[in-house]
């Protein structure tokens, strides 16, 4: 029996000699010992670099309105209803061709003074959601605006999936906005959680266009990871740069879709009242073109 006992003791000592350093290293590693390199400190997010993105020369999505009848259902849907749309607006939005119709090479959106589902006015709000959703690009719309106190036309963009939450957390891009009581003063604006009109911190600019309601003008935004830039007739009006501070400031890394409408009255459009005698009023759109951003 003694030889066996001596052999077992010898094996135990041998195992301790071999495994001791390994167990010691593992124990130190579990406690964050100095044998392991320290974990890298995360770098704070910063603004992206302007890579000088450009855009394709042929549209990736467009409507030239070179047909007659209702707006192309493959490209446009409708927001329908008359609950004030969060702005105390007076119109009821329909999908009727009396409010949105294509003829003579252009789309005409018409706001009318007529009783519609309990509202005094009717109009239309076209949306490309589910039919034209985009992340970055050049968006160009040639349009002639309505006039008269109480009109509030807009060509704009909203998030398709609202990934960061309800308005304004997921953002809004106003390519063109105009109110009839401030004739010819055309606005380009963005809204985010940090920068929005509810806080009076919205980011944008405006330009006097003397013929906004008598001639067609080209309203455009160039949207890249670096900035959103707004133009009227190819003249830069507004620049909003990505500050690199997260979605509260820059929620514009998700898909957005287009909207075109005429509201009646509301918090802004009706700030100086509504003149019912000016209706019907129309916004005419010659074309809508979207150009893909070229990746770099």
Count of residues in the chain: 296
Answer yes or no: is 103 within a domain: yes
In this prediction, residue 229 carries a pLDDT of 98
The answer to whether residue 201 is domain-embedded is yes
Mean pLDDT score, 84-108: 98
Closest CA to 207 of 181, 180, 230, 241: 230
Question: Nearest Cα to 76, choosing from 123, 131, 157?
Answer: 131
117 and 198 assigned to the same domain: yes
pLDDT greater than 60 at residue 8: no
pLDDT at 18: 45
Q: Is the pLDDT of residue 241 over 60?
A: yes
The answer to whether the CB of 285 falls within 8 A of the CB of 107 is yes
| Catalytic residue, candidates 172, 243, 284, 295 | 172
Q: For position 42, what pLDDT does the model report? A: 52
Active site residue 56: no
**What is the number of domains present in the chain?**
2
* Same domain assignment for residues 30 and 71: no
Give the percent of the chain with pLDDT over 70: 85
CATH code, 162: 2.60.120.200
Concatenated DSSP letters of 55-93: B-SS-SEEE---S-BS--TTT-EE--B-S-TTTTB-EEE
Host domain of residue 4 = 1-36
Give the confidence band of 23 by pLDDT, cuts at 50, 70, 90: very low
* Res 246: pLDDT: 96
Pairing mode, if any, of strands 217-223 and 106-116?
unpaired
Same domain, 249 and 194: yes
Query: Is residue 8 a part of any domain in this protein?
Result: yes
pTM of the model as a whole: 0.85
Whether residue 191 is contained in a domain is answered as yes
Q: Which of 120, 140, 177, 284 is catalytic?
A: 177
Average pLDDT over residues 252-269: 98
Say yes or no: 119 and 243 in one domain.
Answer: yes
Domain presence at residue 56: no
Q: Decide if 178 is inside a domain.
A: yes
């Amino acid at each position: 029996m003694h030889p066996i006992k001596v052999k077992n003791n010898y094996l135990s000592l041998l195992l301790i000699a071999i495994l001791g350093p390994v167990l010691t290293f593992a124990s130190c590693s579990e406690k964050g010992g100095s044998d392991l390199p320290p974990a890298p400190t995360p770098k704070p997010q910063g603004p992206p670099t302007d890579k000088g993105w450009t855009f394709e020369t042929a549209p990736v999505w467009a409507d030239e309105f070179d047909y007659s009848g209702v707006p192309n259902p493959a490209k446009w849907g409708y927001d329908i209803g008359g609950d004030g749309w969060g702005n105390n607006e007076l119109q009821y939005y329909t999908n009727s061709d009396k409010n949105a119709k294509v003829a003579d090479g252009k789309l005409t959106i018409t706001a009318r003074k007529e009783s519609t589902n309990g509202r005094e006015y009717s109009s239309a709000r076209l949306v490309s959601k589910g039919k034209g959703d985009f992340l970055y690009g050049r968006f160009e719309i040639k349009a002639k605006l309505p006039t008269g106190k109480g009109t509030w036309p807009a060509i704009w963009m909203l998030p398709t999936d609202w990934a960061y939450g309800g308005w304004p957390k997921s953002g809004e891009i106003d390519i063109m906005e105009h109110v009839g009581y401030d004739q010819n003063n055309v606005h380009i604006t963005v809204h985010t959680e940090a920068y929005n009109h509810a806080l009076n911190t919205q980011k944008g600019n405006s330009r006097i266009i003397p013929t906004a309601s008598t001639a067609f003008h080209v309203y455009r935004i160039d949207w890249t990871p670096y900035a959103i830039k707004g133009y009227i007739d190819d003249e830069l009006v507004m620049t909003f740069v990505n500050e690199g501070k997260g979605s509260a400031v820059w929620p514009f890394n998700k898909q957005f879709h287009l909207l075109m409408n005429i509201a009646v009255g509301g918090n802004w459009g009706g700030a100086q009242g509504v003149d019912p005698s000016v209706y019907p009023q129309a916004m005419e759109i010659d074309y809508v073109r979207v150009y893909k951003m070229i990746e770099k």
